[in-house]
Structure 1
Amino acid sequence: MRLVILGGGESGIGTAILGKKKGFDVFVSDFGKIKENYKEVLIINEIAWEEEKHTEDLILNGDLVMKSPGIPEKSPIVKKLLEKGIPVLSEIEFAAPYTNATIIGITGSNGKTTTTMLAYHLLKSAGLNVGLGGNIGKSFAWQVADNDYDSYVLELSSFQLDGIVNFKPHIAIITNISPDHLDRYDYKYENYIDSKFRITMNQTEDDYLIYDADDEAIAEWLKTHTTKAKLIPFSLTKTLSEGAYIKNNKMEISINQEEFTMDTEHIALEGKHNMKNAMAATSVAKLMQIRKLTIRESLSNFQGVEHRLEKVLKIQNVQYINDSKATNVNATFFALDSMNTPTVWIVGGVDKGNDYNELMSLVREKVKAIICLGVDNKKIIDAFGNVVDMMVEVDNMNDAVRMAQRLTEKGDTVLLSPACASFDLFENYEDRGNQFKQAVKNL
């Protein structure tokens, strides 16, 4: 069996390792350059590869193709494969049959990284033999090849879910759904929503779907579609007989006739959106039979996620916050919503069809100045030009941070929460966040 892998990044190399181990004839093809450390892995494992091209003769003879989530279905080589009837899968679909581990799959427009990291922290602190992967950390396929975990916590993007056929998590979470990546879904929101719900399509009565009961898109989908999984909702506004909710500053969870309560003030994460992430992750811990004491300890000592509302430094009584991971409007909404002091907001990048109107009331209430950090800032200027007193355009992070310092007074906050992708000026959101942190340290 010939396994062709499109994309020589983390998921591609991991799949190549697992494929080789399982006896496939493996070939890796990357249209860009493959990183040196990944090339070394391919050479050591005697796996054939090419870079900066897709040689059709070597690709269209595959029995099975794994494409990296970054490659759209519309790309010419993928179209040709599909026309030939060659199955094109995601890494998750390829690797899942080779492990008997319990899989916890987490998707959503926002909050999925925090929820994934927190669920992993809860299970690991309880002494479970658990792996972390998917969209973060080491490739799932690579771990299936090299480790023998009893369970996995996987962060899953809609792109990864688009490439599944039989993949089935025992516990699925949909943190929330808001318009994102619509450029990959023909600009149809319903296509993107359907893509997220693929996480539950193969679940049975023995499986669980944990979801945000306050989310309109999720509620609508559940009204008109069915899943066999047992539903476990969480909510900030409703009192639920089954599921998780917040009442009188207490998180209350009731699952399978078992109760768990905890004062929200003892939960390390702050902000309303993080209470949702905590309810989702704690529901996983309850389903995995983790002791209440362990859950309480883990929720109170969790460190949070880098580049997500990360407090960098306080300089002259001004707090600098790195929220570079906010690559869409909804994520930035949560960030602005959690600001309690006058805020200088650094925003901008590659716009994915953003509608800034939903931020309007928060900007009026909390933002004193806006710094646009992008190649094309027209939409942001049009949206907020008349709303804030001060608006500045810059084209690099050092200028953004120095300008922010000039515009602040004691007690203010500087918030990097771009609401956009980073690819116009930075390698990725991590690079953008790291540059911000370095620029703040240089002040």
Structure 2
Amino acid sequence: MRLVILGGGESGIGTAILGKKKGYDVFVSDFGKIKGNYKEVLSLNSIPWEEEKHTEDLILNADVVMKSPGIPDKSPIVKKLVEKGVSVMSEIEFAAPFTNATIIGITGSNGKTTTTMLTYHLLKSAGVNVGLGGNIGKSFAWQVADNKFDYYVLELSSFQLDGVFNFKPHIAIITNISPDHLDRYEYKYENYIDSKFRITMNQTEGDYLIYDADDEAISNWLTTHQTKAKLIPFSLTKTFNEGAYIIQNKMEIKINREDFSMDTEHIALEGKHNMKNAMAATSVAKLMQIRKATIRESLSNFQGVEHRLEKVLKIQNIQYINDSKATNVNATFFALDSMNAPTVWIVGGVDKGNDYNELMSLVREKVKAIVCLGVDNKKIIDAFGNVVDMMVEVTSMSDAVRMAQRLSEKGDTVLLSPACASFDLFESYEDRGKQFKQAVKSL
């Protein structure tokens, strides 16, 4: 069996290692450059590869193709493979049949990384033999090749789910759905929503779907489509006989006739959206019958995720917060919503078709000044130019932080929450966040 891998990144290399171990004839092809450390791994495992090109003769003879999530379906080589009837799948789909581990799959437009990390933290603290993968950390396929975990907690993007056909998590979570990446979905929101719900398409009566019952897109989909999974909702406004909710500053979880409650003030994560992430993760812990004391302790000592509402430093009584992971309007909405002090907001980057009107009421209420950090800031200036007193444009992170410091006074917060992708000035949102932290430390 010939396995061709398109994309020599983390998921591609992991799949190559697993494929080789399982006896496939493996070839890796990347249209860009492959990182040096990945090339070494391929050489050590005697796996042939090419970079900066796709040689059709070496690709179109594949029996199965694993496509990296970053490669769109409309790329010419993918189209040719599909026309030939070659099966093109994601790393998750390829690797899942090679493990007997129980899989917990987590998707959503926002909150999926925090929910994934918190779920992993809850299980790991309870002594569960668990791996963490998918969209974060070490490739799932690589771990299936090297490790013997009993459970996996996988963060799954819509791009990864587009390439699954038989994949079936025992527990699925959809944190929320808001418009994102629509350029990959023919600018049709319903296509993107359907893509997220692929997480539950193969689930059976013995499986679980945990979801945000306050989310309009999710609720609408569930009223017009069927899933066999047992539904476990969570909400900030409704209560359930089976599910999770917040009432009088208490988080209540009711699952399989068992109750769990905890004061929200003892939960390390702050903000309403994080209460939802905590309810989703705790629902998994309850399904797995983890002890209440362990759950309480884990929820109170969880450190959060880097680049997601991460408190960097307080300088001259001004709090600097790194929310570089906010690459869409919905994520920035959560960030602004959780601000309790006058805020200097650093925003901008590559716009993915943003509608800034959703942020208008929060900006009026919380934001005193805006620092635009991007190559093209026209939409931001048009939206908020008349709403805030001060607005400046910069093209480097160090200038952005210095300017924010000038515009702020004691008791204020400086928030980096870009609502945009980072590729105009930075390598990635991680690079953007690290540069922000470095610039703050240099003040």
TM-score, structure 1 length as denominator?
Answer: 1.00
Q: How many residues align?
A: 443
Distance of 1:48 and 1:320 partners within structure 2: 47
Question: 1:11-59, CA deviations, whole angstroms, 9 ceiling, x for partnerless residues?
Answer: 0000000000000000000001000000000000000000011111101
Deviation for aligned residue 1:230: 0.0
- Secondary structure in 1 matching 2:62: coil
Distance of 2:353 and 2:100 partners within structure 1: 40
- Secondary structure in 2 matching 1:93: helix
Deviation for aligned residue 1:289: 1.1
Structure 1 gap ranges (5+): none
Aligned runs of 1:245-284 on 2, under 5 Å?
245-284=245-284
- Secondary structure in 2 matching 1:404: helix
Distance of 1:363 and 1:353 partners within structure 2: 19
- Secondary structure in 1 matching 2:210: strand
Aligned runs of 1:33-432 on 2, under 5 Å?
33-432=33-432
- Secondary structure in 2 matching 1:371: strand
Distance of 1:139 and 1:127 partners within structure 2: 22
Question: 1:372-418, CA deviations, whole angstroms, 9 ceiling, x for partnerless residues?
Answer: 10111111111111111111010010000000011011101000000
Question: 1:108-135, CA deviations, whole angstroms, 9 ceiling, x for partnerless residues?
Answer: 0000000000000000000000000000
- Secondary structure in 2 matching 1:3: strand
Distance of 2:60 and 2:247 partners within structure 1: 57
Question: 1:248-284, CA deviations, whole angstroms, 9 ceiling, x for partnerless residues?
Answer: 1000000010110011111000000000000000000
Distance of 1:371 and 1:408 partners within structure 2: 11
Deviation for aligned residue 1:247: 0.3
Please tell me whether residue 3 in structure 1 is matched to residue 3 in structure 2: yes
Distance of 2:385 and 2:83 partners within structure 1: 48
Deviation for aligned residue 1:239: 1.0
- Secondary structure in 2 matching 1:179: coil
Deviation for aligned residue 1:422: 0.4
Deviation for aligned residue 1:349: 0.5
Deviation for aligned residue 1:7: 0.3
AA aligned opposite 2:58: L
Deviation for aligned residue 1:337: 0.4
Tell me what 1:18 maps to: 18
Distance of 2:297 and 2:387 partners within structure 1: 44
Distance of 1:351 and 1:186 partners within structure 2: 16
Deviation for aligned residue 1:237: 0.2
AA aligned opposite 2:328: N
Question: 1:173-194, CA deviations, whole angstroms, 9 ceiling, x for partnerless residues?
Answer: 0000000000000000000000
AA aligned opposite 1:12: G
Distance of 1:293 and 1:316 partners within structure 2: 39
AA aligned opposite 1:77: I
Distance of 1:81 and 1:372 partners within structure 2: 43
Distance of 1:74 and 1:353 partners within structure 2: 20
Give every structure 1 segment of 4 or more consecutive aligned residues whose post-TM-superposition deviation is greater than 4 Å.
Answer: none
Distance of 1:218 and 1:230 partners within structure 2: 15
AA aligned opposite 2:384: F
Question: 1:77-132, CA deviations, whole angstroms, 9 ceiling, x for partnerless residues?
Answer: 10111111100000000000000000000000000000000000000000000000
Question: 1:291-348, CA deviations, whole angstroms, 9 ceiling, x for partnerless residues?
Answer: 1110001001100000000000001110000000000000000000000111000000
AA aligned opposite 1:423: F
AA aligned opposite 1:424: D
Distance of 2:75 and 2:384 partners within structure 1: 36
Distance of 1:139 and 1:183 partners within structure 2: 26
Structure 2 gap ranges (5+): none
- Secondary structure in 1 matching 2:404: helix
Q: Percent identity?
A: 90
- Secondary structure in 1 matching 2:218: helix
- Secondary structure in 2 matching 1:209: strand
AA aligned opposite 1:23: G
